[in-house]
Every structure is written in structure tokens, then in C-alpha cells.
Amino acid sequence: MAKKTVVAAGIVIALAAAWGGASWFTGKQIEQHIGEVTDNLNNGLKNAYPQAGIKVTFRDYQRGIFKSQVALVVQSDGSDTRQHLLAANEEVVFNATVFHGPFPLSASQFSLKPVMAAVHGELANTDSVKALFELTKNKPFITADSRIDYSGDTHSAVTLEALDVQNPEMKVNFSGTTLLVDLAGDLRAGKVIGNVANLAMEKPNLQGQNEKLTLQDLALNSDTRKGKFDLDVGDVKLTLKKLALDVQGGDSLALNDFSLVNHTTEDDANLAGQMTLTLGSALFRDQNLGSLNMNVNFSGLDGKGTRQFMTEYQKNLQSLLQNIDQITPEVYDQQLAALVLHNLPQLLKGNPSVKIAPFSWKNAKGESTFTLALDMTDPLQKNAAPTSNLSDEEAIIRQSVKSLDARLTVPLDMITELMVQTAPKASSADEKKQLEQMAHQQAQLMANIGQMSQVTVTKDNAITSSLQYSDGAVTFNGRKIPLAEFIAPFITLPSENVPEEGDDSQAAPEEQQPDASVSP
């Protein structure tokens, strides 16, 4: 039910957009363009949901002078897909009324400004969504009202009905929402604004305990367009006031004041962007574990190379999904690594750089920080140094990485505080004091192990680590190390007893001499 509802919402938006892409405003022209609209919708659905196994058709078209009516039907496309949203005999239907321009006679969309058309679409009560209509007391859970300009641009209000479900199996309370969606006529630019005030779900888990998930004030504001490299650029902001999980007789977790802001731009050759992520507080058993802050910037990412990589990645992912039962995580990681290496020269053509300044976690006892500055370089540049005498791994690093500076600081007091907060709750003051002492000892042990293995350095009551690289030289925690020596532990060498390609000396076991006691 959830999958069908999510895809259904997307289809309603796509319906309005498809009408906008057609060049008509009379009923006769609608009829002429239905085939074109159907193809556009199905191509869009195939790209957005390749494993859904669904298609769209139109039926029951009725043409009128001032308005026309048509049913949009979502059904299985008959393909051999494991993740079909609909069975062969199931369908989801949207009834659409198209009010013809230049002044559509739509009660919810009437305006003195001439427009091409207005569209009202709503989910129909069919067997596939009958249970959903029972929850909404026979109201359509999804409705959409759209206004289509003569330019083809579409302005839609997509409404999800409020829900209040109370039964022994599950309790759901949903405030409902209205999404404001603006789409360009060529579907290459769009704006989405929406807010969900409240969503609460409660049901028993496998152990019979009640689990309650609560979401408050989820807001989305997106303004993006397809750039010259056919990749999305623009601004997206997502905020969430609270996300809480409560387990009966168990631990509770709450995330408060979450925000994600993303800004992406492009020039004639490259992409650049900035992402900021913040979390006001994370509460575990009503104890404040701290706040999070992360700022990431990138620039100089080659647009054509990124587009090529994304295209190949999507094809590779679809192939893996079709054989998901035969693919192990190790095989997936290997194929992804091979894909990245194959496209690396194109991705690095613009000499990209990435900066994290900082990634931080702060609690009552201190603040941990991680910073990164990575400058990459085009490995195919003409003045690249020869690498014939280097290992493949060292050659890739020397050719692709110009400089790296990474630094980590974790205060010991902060680690101690986190261990105390996440440990079983102390029942007395003495037990709490003992718990704090044990946590301090464990934090100190971590620091000692890190220092003995030369991975970290304990300085000013904090675990620290630093790594710098430039021109083939590595400085790790103040020690200068040749690049080959530094990466050696991370390189997997072939097993000694595995014959190299073309070596037939171990290709088959030695032939055994026949037993003399056995007669032929």
C-alpha cells in the first residue's frame, strides 16, 4: 500500500506536467495529443522507477466544449520484474477533468489571466486502493489541481488527505499536506514547496513491544533545473523539527532540529556545490548526546565526465537489481570500484577539489572535529611524471591527487561522556561514579591502543590524527613516510599459491601412478 501511494502521488504530478507539455487548449487537440502524452509519461516512469514494472494508459475519453474528461490508468507493463508495484490484474486509476482555456471554468482555478487549460485529477476508488479509501472515509487520498500557461509551464497543488487510523494492528495519524509544484513546459526545471505538520505511526514489533515513530514539521523547498550537462543544479532545503522512535519497555531516540541545505551550480565545463547539514540535538533515553554540524564544498567537477559516470552507474545498478539474488556485497563493491576507476580520468578533468570544514560533533564535555582539504588533478595532463616503475595504486594516487590535508580531534572527556550516556542507566550515585571511572579507563585505553599502533596521537587530553600528502610525500601524525610505504598495508597482494595467468605448472594435480595391485 505504501509503495502504491508514493508512486501514485508522483504520477499525479507527472499527469499535470504532461498536459503542460502538449500544445492544445481545445478538446479536439487533446484527443490528438493523447498518444504523445502517454509516451512521455511512460518514458518518465521508466526512467524514474525502472524496477516498478508499470505503465500508463488513457481510457474513457469524453470531449466537451468547455471541458473534457479522461481516466488515467496505471497498470503492470507485463515485464519480468521482481519488484512489481502492481499485479497483472491490478490497476490504479486517476479521473482527470480538463477545463479548456483561455478562461477555464474551474471553481478552484478560475482567474482573469488567460491560460491554456486547467486540470483537476483525483485518485479513483478501485479494488487496488479500496483499503485506502476506507481510511479516508471515501475521500480521494490524492488530488491535484493544475493551471497550464500558454508557455507550457504548469502550476499544481497536490493534496494528500489527512489520516486517522485506530485499530489493534496499527495506529496512524497524518496531518495531510499540500505540495505546490511548478514545472517548466519542457520538464527541465521545477519548484516544489511542501510541509508535513505531523505523522505518527504505532504498531507492535516482532517481540510484541509497541513501537511509535513520530515526525513533526517536515518541510521541503526545492528549486532546481536540468543544466547543460543534463544534471540537476539549483537549491534544495529540507528541514525537520523532530523525528522520534519510542519502544515500549525499551530505549527511546529523538533527533531534533535537522536541516539539510544543498546548492549546486555549473559553468561551461564544471560543476560546483555546497552542502550544509546540521542537527540541533540527538536524545537517547532523554539524554542529550550532542549536536552535529557538517559543511562540504566541491568545485571543478567535470560536467561531461560526471554525466557519463551517472549514466553508467544507473545502467550498472539496474543490471545488479535484476540479478540481486546472485550478487554479493563484495561483488557489488568490486563492480562499483571498477566503474569509478574507469571514469576517473573524465571525472578529474577539471582538477576538482573537495573541502569538509568541518564535520563536528559536540556534547557537554567537548567537541570532536574532522577537516579535509583534497585537491585532485587531471591524470591525463601532458606534463604528468612517468609512472612505469610504480605500482598501479601508487601511480593512480600520484597522477590524480595533488594535495591532501586531513585532521581529526576527539577529546577524551567527550568519549567518556558518550560512553556514560549510552551505558545502562545507573541505579545509584555510587554506581554512576563507578560507571564514569570505567568509561574514563576505556577512553584512555582507546587512546593508548591508537598511539601504540601509530594511528593516533594523544595530545592535550584528546585523540588526534593528521594526514598530509603532496608531490608523492606523506606526512602521517608528523612522521614523513614514502607514499609506497604508506599504502603498502592497504594493497591486497595475490596469494603465493595462485598461479599467474599462463602458468600451467599448477593448473592440474600430478597424475597418480596406477595401483600395482589393481589389474586392468
What is the value of pTM for the model shown?
Answer: 0.80
Q: H/E/C letters for each residue in 246-286?
A: EECCCCEEEEEEEEEEEEEEECCCEEEEEEEEEEEEEEECC
At residue 520, the pLDDT reads: 34
Say if residue 313's pLDDT is above 90: no
Residue 118's nearest CA partner among 143, 94, 101 is 101
* 281-296 pLDDT per residue, tens: 999 988 999 999 999 9
Say if residue 318's pLDDT is above 80: no
* 250-272 pLDDT per residue, tens: 889 999 999 999 999 999 999 99
At residue 26, the pLDDT reads: 47
At residue 469, the pLDDT reads: 96
Whether 269 and 229 have beta carbons less than 8 Å apart is answered as no
Mention every residue, 6+ apart, whose C-beta is less than 8 A from residue 150. 25, 101, 114, 115, 116
Banded model confidence at residue 514, pLDDT cuts 50, 70, 90? very low
Banded model confidence at residue 346, pLDDT cuts 50, 70, 90? confident
At residue 48, the pLDDT reads: 63
Helix (H, G, I), strand (E, B) or coil at 156: strand
CA-only gyration radius of the chain, Å: 30
Say if residue 518's pLDDT is above 60: no
Q: Of the spans 167-176, 200-209, 321-330, 363-372, which averages the highest pLDDT?
A: 363-372
- Name the grid cell of 481: 613516510
> Over the chain, what is the mean pLDDT?
82
Banded model confidence at residue 324, pLDDT cuts 50, 70, 90? low
Please give the share of the chain, as a percent, with pLDDT higher than 90: 39
Mean pLDDT value across residues 348-365 = 94
Banded model confidence at residue 497, pLDDT cuts 50, 70, 90? very low
* 7-37 pLDDT per residue, tens: 555 555 555 444 444 434 445 555 666 777 7
At residue 342, the pLDDT reads: 80
- The DSSP string of 362-423 is EETTEEEEEEEEEEE--TT-TTPPP-TTS-HHHHHHHHHEEEEEEEEEEEHHHHHHHHHHHS
Q: Of the spans 9-18, 389-398, 458-467, which averages the highest pLDDT?
A: 458-467
Say if residue 50's pLDDT is above 80: no
Say if residue 328's pLDDT is above 50: yes
Mean pLDDT value across residues 99-115 = 67
66-70, 188-192, 251-255, 412-416: least confident range = 66-70
